[in-house]
Amino acid sequence: MKQDRFLMGILIFIGVLVAAALVLFFVRNQKPTYGAEDTPEGVLYNYAVALQLHDYKRAYGYLAEKDNKPTYNAFHQAFLTRQLDTGASAMQIGNVEMLESGEAWVNVTIQFAGNGLLDNGWSSNDKGTLVRQKGAWKITYLPNPYWGWDWYQPTPLPIKPP
């Protein structure tokens, strides 16, 4: 009789743990939401959210209008073909430095996931740069994997043979 009660207690405890785990899973598994876009850090946050939600048109809208801006198709293809893959990384947004030139530098830490039990991953510190265009903050640079190495770079002239 005592064993039956003890066993029943263990089963109830396991059931409560399973129910709590399911509740946490469904509560924490909500999609991220966009925030304000009136600050440089807000724009970087929304850019990262747009990439996470695969809203590439919105993410592309955060890029600055400058020479050699990638076309939307090139931007979209970079993520579709996993040339740029943000799935195993996260961007932590830090302090903002406002420059007199109308630019902003934002400290960012890119955290990369580890590969196994003893590999906790690694992180890289860098700066994202934004510029004010038509009253809105637009991104001019972010570190990889959130930015293509060839975006906004001038196209090299072909070398002519002698």
Domain CATH for 113? 3.10.450.50
| Total domain count, the chain | 1
Mean pLDDT of the chain: 88
- What percent helix, strand, coil does the chain show, rounded to 5? 35, 25, 40
Distance set, CA 33 to CA 16, 52, 83, 105, 136 (Å)? 31, 11, 25, 24, 20
**Is-contact 150 66, C-beta < 8 A?**
no
Closest of 151, 146, 154 to residue 70, by C-alpha: 151
Q: Read off the pLDDT of residues 86-117 as tens digits, 9 standing for 90 and up.
A: 888 899 999 999 988 889 999 999 999 878 77
pLDDT tens per residue, range 42-86? 999 999 999 999 999 999 999 999 988 999 999 999 999 989 988
Contact present, 66 and 60 (Cβ < 8 Å): no
Determine the average pLDDT of the residues in 117-141: 90
pTM for the whole structure: 0.76
Domain that includes residue 71, residue range: 34-141
What DSSP designation does 63 have?
A: B
User: CA-CA distance, 126 to 138, in Å (whole number)?
Assistant: 18
Residue 119 lies in a domain: yes
The answer to whether 104 and 137 are in contact (CB under 8 A) is yes
Nearest of 96, 98, 59 to residue 75 by alpha carbon: 59
Residue 48 in tokens: 């990262």
For residues 93 and 102, give the distance between their C-alpha atoms in angstroms, rounded to a whole number. Answer: 19
In a domain, 15, yes or no: no
- Give a yes or no: residue 12 inside a domain: no
In a domain, 57, yes or no: yes
